[in-house]
Structure 1
Amino acid sequence: MRPPVSRHRPSNEGPSGPQRRSYSPDLTPPWKKRKPVPEVAADRDLVVEEVSTGFCGAVIGCEAGTVTLEDRFGKHRVFPLEPRGFLLEGRVVTLVRPAASTPVRPTRTASGSVAVPGARARVARAGRIYVEGRHDAELVEKVWGDDLRIEGVVVEYLEGVDDLPAIVAEFAPDAQARLGVLVDHLVPGSKESRIAASVSSEHALVVGHPYIDIWEAVKPSALGIAGWPRVPRGQDWKTGVCEALGWPSANTGAVWQAILGRVSSYRDLEPELLGRVEELIDFVTVPVE
């Protein structure tokens, strides 16, 4: 005799056999829901760690749905703003985009000087600062532009310094119109050092930095690279740098604009350049006693 057939199926079976339990989309069983974690605004300079990669860095930007971190070596990584995606002081948090706020008026210029809100540009002085090329002039303007306008100092570029003695003689600097010149690669024994030594005027000051090109005065950390590569002697320096770093070498002008875009203040420049530019500004602006 056959045993009676049960008309009741086990609770985990369906018409076609055993069924799986129902889980939420994040695979967490419904009876083991995770506790909520705090939401933290991804404000600039907040230091967090991304949970899946362990990448630790400070927030330098936050767009819709993503956050950009910079580690202590200057490397940048972009991560999605996912729930429970970061650690803050060892605790899991959810980063969210900061709420829009009223822009704060800067108290310092890009050069680190005290900002003067609403200050009008001064009428240009007779004195000038000359730099070697357009890239030099653009970098000086980017960092010291506010200071130069308040002081009434005009920066011009020369396209090289081979004819510097004649240029200084033509300018004819005097006590009311002093001339400052910034020279690239001003190191002992260089062509530039010999040219600079041939300039003789108490109202002209020629100073320089040790870098072959003004590009090199930008700190590698500002660009996310380990360092500026060495380029074999005889090869065009900019082209060699681009090839070594995998940058497009056919358009060094576009590469320079990308480099310049990563410079936001004096902190992104090497001290050897900072001191020389400040020295020139003082020289052409401090009254002669």
Structure 2
Amino acid sequence: MKKVFGLLGHPVGHSMSPVMHQAAYEQLDMDATYVAFDVEPHRLEEAVKGIRALNIRGCNVTIPHKVEVMKYLDVVDEEARQIGAVNTILNENGQLTGYNTDGRGYIQSLLQVVPELLGASILVIGAGGAARAVLASLLPHQPKQVVVANRTIEKATDLARVFQRDTTDVNASTISSAAANLEEYSIIINTTSVGMSPHVEDMPISLERLSPNAVVSDLIYNPLETRLLKEAKKRGARVLNGVGMFVHQGALSIEHWTGIYPESEPMRKTILKQLKNE
């Protein structure tokens, strides 16, 4: 019997998850399909009940449901609780468990560029859900310090307080203060939507004081190379776009559902092809 997986979001017409997941199922020689379900916010509880009723093995969850969906699940794992959002639901005989694979997916992609995070000095731009996911997965690697920079310093302060660790100094900063001290950071991570298509000329921070030895990472993957990454490359820095995070978080979801971690390369190639055809 064909396995059914899906995506709960609103809207979902633009989502590349279906083609990426289908590429993974083909590589695994699995009889499965992945459907994007457009679920309006007031129908979310019904949709979650539908997962049980239709025996859908697993679903991803995207905007705007990643927080609200938690109240309709039977179990939410500790990592997802810490992040405060769920992006993956596993259905085991009607029991629904929520996970969040975003942060781990990001770290897998980052470690392909920076093999060691121990002792690193890291700037995280943004204080929203994506920043929470990144911080939750960064801190077990024991960087020396992490600074959260945000337009609203109060949000950055609140987030830094939540993630303060004995092994890592976690502090807050304004964007302008972080930009003035940018040479201090070996890794800079943009978790905001600044620079995303169609606003491709926008940048979340000035790179005037960027160290040429730094790595600049952007969670955005459309465009593949944001202005932030273009400017960083001009200054000699290594760069990382958001494709790797998208691919690995999807692969980790599949592992939760099937027990198998798929090869990421067919998934990555499918996404790149899709983006280039847009």
Q: Please say whether Structure 1 and Structure 2 have the same fold, judged by a TM-score greater than 0.5.
A: no
* Greater fraction of residues in helix: 2
TM-score computed with the length of structure 2 as normaliser: 0.34
